[in-house]
């Protein structure tokens, strides 16, 4: 049996839910298809829950524009929809003279990106703000913050549903085909069915490439390769020894083993970039060894035995080990030639921060 709907969004993570909300508010009839039995159980539930400022990326990138725009939209949305968040600010710390020289480049990049409130601070001011952090200088980013990611997704789902959207759970997309006037989507699970939609958005993160590949008519040469790269977290018991987010200078593939506070006042460290691991959610306690070294470069008082394995997330990266970082890849009709289809690939960090701006951008690519 083939049902007809206006718009299908594949994936009920933070991005799919934001897209569903955006399109529903614009008057579309939207069904979200999610392969699991609950929202946001893949990438969106295993991240740092940081609202990023938009500092590090190339100014010409879409990622940069969506991060800076998304941050502003997100703070407004959290305030108006009662989503728990805190603009606690962040320090990017230099632990030696060589790293201090790198701060100038990071500061200049951030300013080029439109992050206008960044400030270079010296050792004394950094120590005043964070007595437990050892550094020779830092960048203060006042607009960085933390957010309850699940609370955000619930608010987006609620918003979308109250305007008529429907989220179908245990509804894995197994295939599809481009047809006259739209796209047919095959849904598996206990009640398999075909849906014929005028518009489809692939917001399936770790599954995005598989979904695009399974749609007959999607040009396979346009589908970027995916690298599922694990990031592990460790925590320490008790109240956080910091008041701000504490980041070292970035490392290849990630932002360095940073300290993130949660809204309950606890600290976690990570994620690292575990290039060679299986992309599962286990944390190997042996990785603590590397964490001690990385964290003690800025938090020398970290006690032996204090780190406990916490959780792991998996990044839907488009670049592999040793390759340069790349932009988000958002393909609309001009890229793949299929009217009414938008595919989102490589929505790794700062995808949570950018989610509302990604949704706006996606809506603009649709008729």
Ligand X SMILES: Cc1cc2nc3c(=O)[nH]c(=O)nc-3n(C[C@H](O)[C@H](O)[C@H](O)COP(=O)(O)OP(=O)(O)OC[C@H]3O[C@@H](n4cnc5c(N)ncnc54)[C@H](O)[C@@H]3O)c2cc1C
Contact residues for ligand X, defined by CB under 6 A:
10-16, 33-36, 40-44, 47-50, 52, 172-173, 203-207, 211, 231, 271, 313-315, 347-353
Question: Strands 173-179, 215-216: parallel, antiparallel or unpaired by DSSP?
Answer: parallel
CB-wise, 120 or 206, nearer to ligand X? Answer: 206
- Token pair 């690939």: residue: 345
Min separation Cβ 236 and ligand X, Å: 18
* Diameter of the chain measured on Cα atoms: 69
CB-wise, 33 or 343, nearer to ligand X? Answer: 33
Closest C-alpha to 56, from 136, 139, 134: 139
Min separation Cβ 128 and ligand X, Å: 26
Is residue 348 within 8 A of residue 213, CB to CB? The reply is: no
Question: Strands 166-168, 30-33: parallel, antiparallel or unpaired by DSSP?
Answer: parallel
CB-wise, 28 or 230, nearer to ligand X? Answer: 230
Min separation Cβ 270 and ligand X, Å: 7
Q: Indicate the helix (H) or strand (E) that contains 315.
A: strand 308-317
Q: Name 201's Cβ contacts closer than 8 Å, sequence gap at least 6.
A: 7, 8, 9, 10, 16, 19, 23, 341, 342, 343, 344, 362, 366
Min separation Cβ 123 and ligand X, Å: 27
As given in the structure block, the two tokens for residue 84 are: 């728990």
Min separation Cβ 314 and ligand X, Å: 6
CB-wise, 9 or 302, nearer to ligand X? Answer: 9
CB-wise, 10 or 100, nearer to ligand X? Answer: 10
């Amino acid at each position: 049996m083939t049902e007809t709907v206006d718009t299908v969004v594949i994936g009920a993570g933070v991005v799919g839910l934001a897209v569903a909300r955006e399109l529903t508010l614009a008057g579309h009839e939207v069904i979200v298809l999610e392969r699991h039995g609950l929202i946001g159980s893949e990438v969106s539930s295993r991240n740092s829950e940081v609202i990023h400022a938009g500092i590090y990326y190339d100014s010409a990138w879409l990622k940069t524009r969506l991060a800076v725009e998304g941050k502003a939209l997100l703070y407004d949305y959290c305030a108006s929809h009662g989503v728990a968040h805190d603009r606690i600010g962040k320090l990017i710390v230099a632990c030696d003279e060589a790293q201090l020289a790198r701060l100038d480049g990071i500061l200049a990049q951030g300013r080029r990106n439109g992050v206008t409130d960044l400030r270079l601070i010296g050792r004394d001011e950094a120590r005043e703000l964070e007595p437990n952090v050892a550094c020779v200088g830092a960048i203060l980013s006042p607009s960085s913050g933390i957010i309850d990611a699940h609370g955000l997704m619930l608010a987006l789902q609620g918003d979308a549903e109250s305007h008529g959207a429907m989220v179908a759970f245990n509804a894995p997309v197994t295939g599809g085909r481009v047809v006259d006037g739209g796209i047919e989507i095959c849904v598996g699970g206990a009640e398999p069915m075909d849906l014929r939609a005028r518009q489809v958005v692939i917001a399936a993160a770790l599954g995005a490439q598989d979904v695009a590949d399974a749609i007959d008519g999607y040009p396979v040469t346009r589908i970027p390769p995916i690298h599922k790269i694990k990031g592990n977290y460790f925590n320490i018991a008790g109240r956080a020894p910091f008041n701000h987010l504490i980041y070292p200078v970035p490392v290849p593939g990630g932002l360095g083993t940073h300290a993130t506070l949660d809204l309950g006042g606890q600290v976690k460290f990570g994620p690292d970039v575990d290039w060679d691991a299986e992309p599962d959610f286990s944390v190997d306690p042996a990785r603590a060894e590397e964490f001690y070294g990385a964290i003690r470069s800025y938090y020398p008082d970290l006690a032996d035995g204090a780190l406990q394995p916490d959780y792991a997330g998996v990044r839907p990266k488009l670049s592999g080990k040793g390759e340069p970082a790349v932009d988000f890849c958002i393909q609309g009709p001009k890229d793949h030639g299929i009217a009414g289809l938008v595919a989102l690939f490589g929505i790794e960090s700062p995808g949570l921060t950018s989610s509302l701006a990604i949704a706006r951008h996606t809506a603009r690519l649709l008729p």
